[in-house]
Structure 1
Amino acid sequence: MTRDSQRSRVYDAEHQVRTMFDRADERGLRTVEILGSTVTLPIERRFASLDSVQSYVDGVLTLSRVRAEWPRAAVPVRVRARSGAGAAHYEVDTATIAVPLHVRGRAWALREMVVLHEIAHHLEPGDPDDHCEPAHGGAFVDRYLTLVSEIIGAEAGFVLRAAMHSCGARVG
């Protein structure tokens, strides 16, 4: 297994962007300034149940752009609840996304950024048992940025890319 040297950088960047989206939702102000650009944050979908997450994952994996780019999109993904307060994760051997439902009264993981992160893991090319790339390496970051840009919106992709850069995560 390849060392996952930039995992914390990717998580830090994702946390920054989720916080931006949370504040935009709380305050009703969607405009932010980042790297000298004024950006209007799009709406990030939130999910009410595992069934809604499963429907979303199924929908993303059937998008023609996703199917054309990543052959593993044809492999179905199962969504299940994850117990405890840990992060969501992807289980390669069973093609399963495990999502914590509520942590300290909040459903923080039932959101689009988190689910797209896990889908990006699923879409790793090649044999999933080979693990030829680090779990959060440059190729993963590139897939994740592409999914966020294409599905949430170019503005969200730009903000996530800027956060990845500021946290030192390598892309590509």
Structure 2
Amino acid sequence: MPVRDSQRARVYESETLLRTMIDRADAAEAGRSVEIAGSTVTLPIERRFASIDSVQTYVDAVLALEDVRRRYPRASRRCRVRARAGQGAAHYEHDAAVIAVPLHVAGHAWAMRELVVLHEIAHHLEDRDPETTPHAAHGPEFTARLLDLLDRVVGPEAAFVLRCIYGRNDVRVG
């Protein structure tokens, strides 16, 4: 029996807000600092990708990190990256261990960025098989994995900001 993914929309909304904050920091002449939850935080620079090959290189590098391998046994399983037609959402195919990412279309490449790819890597690192052990794809365990990846790969500032946004949006973290 499928498990309802009750916080999926709130997770996506939270990640969209973080991406928007980073985009605005990229465009701002005044700097990368933001105030959130009573703290002043300098937003990190987010990696952007020009090709599927560059996304694949990034995924391979993240999964090869010693602390990621130590914490997540599934990091040792190869994850392939492929192009996805159209501008729809990026997604992860669990059985095939494949991340599908929309490419540049008319100069727009919203998914060819680090935060989107880390979201899909967080799905890859899920140890439970969704067919044999149903669970919410964007539940508390997922959000905890994504925050952990952000902290390890992008920086603690990004993880802190997303954790604050999760709190504001009532997203549970395991």
Short-chain TM bin: over 0.9
Q: Let me know the Cα RMSD of the aligned residues.
A: 1.1
Q: Which residue of 1 aligns with 2:166?
A: 164
The number of aligned residues is 172
Give the drift of 1:130: 2.3
1:82 and 1:88 in contact (8 A); partners too:
yes
Give the drift of 1:93: 1.4
1:94–1:64 CA distance, 2 compared to 1 (3 A) = same
Give the drift of 1:131: 4.2
Q: Which residue of 2 aligns with 1:9?
A: 10
Unaligned runs of 5+ in 2: none
CA distance in 1, matches of 2:134, 2:146: 17
Amino acid at match of 2:4: R
Moved more, 14-23 or 84-93: 84-93
Q: How does 1:113-152 map to 2 (within 5 A)?
A: 113-152=115-154
Percent identity of the aligned residues?
62
Does residue 78 of structure 2 align to residue 50 of structure 1? no
CA distance in 2, matches of 1:134, 1:128: 9
CA distance in 2, matches of 1:104, 1:167: 32
CA distance in 2, matches of 1:105, 1:42: 24
Give the drift of 1:102: 2.3
Give the drift of 1:126: 3.1
Does residue 51 of structure 2 align to residue 85 of structure 1? no
Does residue 23 of structure 2 align to residue 22 of structure 1? yes
- Flag as ranges the 4+ runs of structure 1 deviating above 6 A: none
1:93 and 1:128 in contact (8 A); partners too:
no
Give the drift of 1:103: 4.4
Q: Which residue of 2 aligns with 1:65?
A: 67
CA distance in 2, matches of 1:104, 1:12: 24
Aligned to 2:4, what secondary structure does the other structure show? coil
Q: Tell me the alpha carbon deviations over residues 36-76 of structure 1, each in whole angstroms, 9 at most, x when there is no partner.
A: 10000111111111100000000000101110111000110
CA distance in 1, matches of 2:155, 2:85: 31
CA distance in 1, matches of 2:85, 2:100: 9
Q: Tell me the alpha carbon deviations over residues 68-112 of structure 1, each in whole angstroms, 9 at most, x when there is no partner.
A: 111000110010011112110001111000000124531111111
